[in-house]
Amino acid sequence: MGRRPILQAVAVFVWAASVLAQDGTLSAQIANTAPDVRDLPGVLVSRHLLEAEALAVGDIVRLSADDTGDRARPFRVVGVYEPTPDPLRITGRRLEARLHLPDLIDLTADPADPLSAESVTALNVALVDPADAAAFAQDLYARVPGLSTRRTVGPLDPSEPLAVIERFHLAISIVTLIGSTMFLLALMVMRVEERRETAGGLRLRGVPRRRVILNILAEGVLIALTGVVFAVVSQDGFNRFFQWRYDTPLVFVRITPLVI
């Protein structure tokens, strides 16, 4: 009878030791895997990609430069960014990601081509003085024949789509300005005809002509200011609607003090 409690105590001790050993193994596994996860290269994903794939910061994703998914590499999502608005891609979803340059080279390099990791197709260069762009382009072309340079900031080429759209907007604004001016002139003539009796009554009461003219002018200015305030206030709602419709932060209407 005295050995049974001893055996039970030994069994409990062995069970506790096995549980502690398992916990130690799990802790060792977690300690071994956690640094691997933290050591994974980071990647930034666009807001559209985050929403489309239900991702979150800290998730592990696998990226591949091949459509078949071969040679996929794991990356850890470290942040989210909003893509730069592009009018030419307003209807498309920006499923994009940004990687560090060494990670991008390792991901896109062709193992069969040793020079693929050392070759680039385009390179952005920022100058201290933008006015030196033409001289820099000539000097670069003299050093590397066949290399083409193009300014990213500056006058647009007349054949570019944005330049065509800009001329189209200018033509629309000119037509709108001329049409609205003719309409306002006709409206003012009608208002003068309607107010002729009122102005005559004021003149009969001894109101000076200058005051009558100032009253009519003040009324027109008040109506114009009301229209300006309405346009300034409604532009935010207009932008929000189209930004929601096309899921883009692009600003569609901007009324500046110069326009006013």
Q: What is the DSSP string of 98-152?
A: EE-HHHHHHHH--TT-GGGGG--S------SSGGGHHHHHHHHHHHSTT-----S
pLDDT in tens, the chain (260 residues): 444 443 343 333 333 333 333 333 323 233 333 446 677 888 999 988 888 888 999 889 988 888 787 888 899 999 999 888 877 777 778 888 998 888 888 888 887 887 777 777 888 888 888 888 888 888 888 888 888 887 776 666 677 777 787 888 888 888 988 988 888 788 778 877 777 777 778 778 888 888 888 887 888 788 888 888 888 888 888 888 888 888 888 888 877 777 76
> Residue 80 is inside which H or E element, if any?
strand 73-81
Instruction: Say how far residue 250 (Cα) sits from the centre of its chain.
Output: 7
SS3 of 172, please? helix
Can you tell me the distance from the alpha carbon of 100 to that of 119, in angstroms, rounded to the nearest whole number?
A: 16
